[in-house]
């Protein structure tokens, strides 16, 4: 099944649950909008304790909400110093432990930057760090947690579509996190028509096979970009200038009967915008 949900806490959750501000309010809010996915944000560090994670996971499960977890932004798979890469393995392990406690099976990880290295060298460092991370997860009995390398929005970041395909090629358990807003931003607006999105979906299948092309993880938001740097800032679906539009992708996902999990990362309206994507998808899937 296709799932839709927000990345973290939307602004409207505050009004929805002004009294308690409890952690499960985000889930109740998502559920009230008919959403069935939620991405827990650990971008600034894995701070959730085991007990809270288990309680959060139990509430999500009772609502039929599938959880994923965004690992810390400071992870750099391609860090130049070995020590930085070792730390990244440890942060991935921390993320996987928290994910496991809440019943999530996917953690989203940024690839890092190319820095002063040629991209191809940065990529091989990133692959090595990913391989070490997989070994670390296996050693702790966390091999069922999928690491999802994400396509990144800034041009100098590692993580264009081909680089993410390459990273995911080292082990079948790696699931790409295709961030369509990031792809559109770093290619200065290449995603607008159905055929533009179809080319991305076809490329995933060519590189990683049918299974992962059917069940990949996705982020979606409209993102402002600049010609020089790519991603500048996340917008909301009210944007009509930068895109990308979600409608052609929703039609394709319905036509191809894919089982993608879409996490919306709009700036503040991520739950409402996830619900808008779901409504659009539902209208197409009803017609298939």
Residue nearest to Zn ion (CB): 150
Nearer to Zn ion, 150 or 231 (CB): 150
Could you tell me the smallest distance in angstroms from the CB atom of residue 18 to Zn ion?
29
Distance from C-alpha of 40 to C-alpha of 121, rounded to nearest angstrom: 32
Could you tell me the smallest distance in angstroms from the CB atom of residue 204 to Zn ion?
18
Residue range at the interface with Zn ion (CB under 5 A); choices 83-91, 144-152, 231-239, 269-277: 144-152
Contact 79, 126 (CB under 8 A): no
Nearer to Zn ion, 159 or 245 (CB): 159
Contact 114, 77 (CB under 8 A): no
User: Which H/E stretch holds residue 121?
Assistant: helix 119-139
Residue range at the interface with Zn ion (CB under 5 A); choices 24-32, 121-129, 147-155, 271-279: 147-155
Could you tell me the smallest distance in angstroms from the CB atom of residue 20 to Zn ion?
28
Residue range at the interface with Zn ion (CB under 5 A); choices 2-10, 149-157, 199-207, 246-254: 149-157
Distance from C-alpha of 22 to C-alpha of 209, rounded to nearest angstrom: 41
% helix / strand / coil in the chain, to the nearest 5?
Answer: 45, 15, 40
Distance from C-alpha of 239 to C-alpha of 181, rounded to nearest angstrom: 12
Could you tell me the smallest distance in angstroms from the CB atom of residue 71 to Zn ion?
9
Q: Which residues are 195's β-sheet partners?
A: none
Please give the size of the binding site for Zn ion, defined by CB under 5 A.
1
Nearer to Zn ion, 149 or 243 (CB): 149
- Rg (C-alpha) for the chain, rounded Å, is 18
Could you tell me the smallest distance in angstroms from the CB atom of residue 216 to Zn ion?
14
**Cα separation values, 87 from 24, 68, 93, 176, Å:** 30, 22, 10, 22
- In the shown chain, the binding pattern of residues 18 to 57 toward Zn ion, with x for contact by CB under 5 A and - for none, equals ----------------------------------------
Nearer to Zn ion, 59 or 155 (CB): 155
Could you tell me the smallest distance in angstroms from the CB atom of residue 251 to Zn ion?
25
Q: Which residues are 146's β-sheet partners?
A: 106
Q: Within 10 A of 172 (CB to CB), how many other CB atoms are there?
A: 12
Q: Which residues form the interface with Zn ion (CB under 5 A)? A: 150
């Amino acid at each position: 099944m296709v799932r839709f949900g927000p990345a973290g806490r939307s602004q409207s959750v505050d009004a929805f649950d002004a009294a308690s501000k409890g952690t499960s309010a985000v889930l109740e809010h998502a559920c009230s909008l008919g959403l069935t996915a939620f991405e827990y944000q650990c971008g600034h560090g894995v701070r959730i304790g085991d007990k809270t994670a288990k309680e959060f996971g139990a509430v999500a499960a009772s609502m039929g909400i599938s959880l994923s977890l965004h690992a810390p932004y400071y992870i750099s798979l391609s860090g130049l110093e070995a020590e930085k890469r070792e730390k990244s393995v440890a942060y991935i392990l921390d993320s996987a432990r928290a994910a496991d406690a809440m019943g999530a099976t996917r953690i989203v990880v940024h690839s890092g930057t190319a820095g002063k290295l040629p991209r191809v060298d940065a990529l091989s460092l990133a692959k090595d760090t990913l391989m070490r991370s997989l070994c670390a997860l296996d050693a702790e009995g966390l091999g069922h947690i999928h690491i999802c390398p994400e396509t990144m929005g800034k041009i100098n970041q590692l993580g264009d579509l081909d680089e993410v395909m390459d990273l995911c090629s080292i082990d079948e358990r790696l699931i790409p996190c295709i961030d369509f807003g990031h792809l559109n931003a770093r290619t200065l607006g290449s995603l607008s028509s159905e055929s533009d999105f179809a080319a991305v979906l076809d490329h995933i299948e060519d590189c990683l096979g049918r299974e992962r092309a059917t069940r990949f993880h996705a982020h979606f938001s409209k993102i402002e970009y600049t010609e020089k740097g790519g991603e500048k800032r996340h917008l909301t679906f009210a944007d009509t200038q930068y895109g990308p539009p979600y409608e052609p992708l929703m039609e394709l996902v319905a036509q191809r009967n894919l089982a993608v999990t879409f996490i919306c990362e709009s700036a503040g309206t991520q739950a409402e915008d996830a619900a808008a994507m779901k409504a659009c998808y539902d209208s197409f899937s009803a017609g298939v």
